[in-house]
Amino acid sequence: MKKTNGATPFAPIKVEPAYRKVATALLDRITARTINAGERLPPEIELARQFGVHRGTVREALRELETNGVLKRERGSKLMMVTRPHRGTVAAGVSRALALHDVTYHDIWEALTALEPPIATAAARNRGPKDLKHLDALVAAEPTVEQAAAFFRAVGEATHNGVFMLAHEPLVELLVPSLKAMINKVPQAAARIGTAQKRIVAAIRERDGAQAGEWMAKHIRDFRRGFELANIGLQQAVGNA
């Protein structure tokens, strides 16, 4: 930073719209759990009085938080209720941000390599009967792009670990266009996906975390091999193949 008269100048003050400040104040209360999921906020006119702003400013802040899945309005009620954002809502925003940053197929493959084997290991440790039933139904279906994404989600859900489920959901969303670019160009891709899925589920059923993680790692390595066979450069941005 350039000095003026020997002194370091002050950085410009960030000026935010009033509605954004209201939204931030409300979100701070919600994340601090002083306003809990299921509780209703005061009416707009009361919030405007408390914040010392116009009612339209409050309405804009509430609209932003509703878009982000933090608030919702129940049918028949004029009051906003605090809610937990659905994983898909959170992931969609992250996925859009990643896509705008030109993530490549290699980026997706590398991130899947780091995350998915430990998730499969945790699924083998924590899965319940309902998880196995869901996984069995998925592997009984023909492997498709949508089925593969659903399989990854089901393995994540079997961990019963909210952090794992939130962490890998954006990757699963980006996996869909990644697979669409490759799966129809490699004749053996569907069969290999089906085989790997069955091996992973078998290990999860036996609570064999090491095997579940190992087979998931093989499964992810196969994705890379699929892109090589399809002559798709891994450094291409997702969706540009």
- pLDDT reading at 2 higher than 60: no
User: Half-sphere exposure of 104 toward its Cβ, with a 13 Å CA cutoff?
Assistant: 10
Q: How many CB atoms lie within 10 A of CB 1?
A: 7
Instruction: Give the pair of three-digit tokens for residue 121.
Output: 């290991």
Decide which of 98 and 8 is more confident: 8
Position 209 scores a pLDDT of 96
Position 25 scores a pLDDT of 92
Task: Give the domain ranges of the chain.
Answer: 18-82, 87-229
CA distance 40 to 16: 26
Mean pLDDT of 12-16: 78
Asked if residue 89 lies in contact with residue 180, where contact means CB atoms within 8 angstroms, the answer is no
Residue 74: exposed, middle, or buried by beta-carbon count in 10 A (0-12, 13-18, 19+)?
exposed
Helices and strands of the chain, counted as H and E runs? 10, 2
Decide which of 85 and 143 is more confident: 143
The answer as to CATH 1.10.1060.10 being correct for domain 87-229 is no
CATH topology of domain 18-82: Arc Repressor Mutant, subunit A (1.10.10)
CA distance 22 to 100: 28
What radius of gyration, in Å, describes the C-alpha atoms of the chain? 23
pLDDT digits (tens, 9 = 90+) for 149-203: 899 999 999 999 988 888 888 888 777 777 777 887 888 888 899 999 999 999 9
Position 69 scores a pLDDT of 81
pLDDT band at 143 (very low <50, low <70, confident <90, very high): confident
**151 has which bridge partners?**
none
Three-state DSSP class for residue 82: strand
Position 104 scores a pLDDT of 82
Instruction: Give the pair of three-digit tokens for residue 196.
Output: 């790997």
Q: Work out the percent of the chain whose per-residue pLDDT is above 70.
A: 89
**CA-CA distances (angstroms) from residue 22 to 10, 37, 55, 57, 121?**
26, 19, 11, 8, 43
Position 177 scores a pLDDT of 76
pLDDT band at 204 (very low <50, low <70, confident <90, very high): very high
Q: What values do phi and psi take at 4, rounded to 5?
A: -120, 125
Mean pLDDT of 6-32: 84
**7 has which bridge partners?**
4
- H/E element holding 16? none
pLDDT digits (tens, 9 = 90+) for 60-100: 999 988 888 888 888 878 889 988 766 655 555 555 555 55
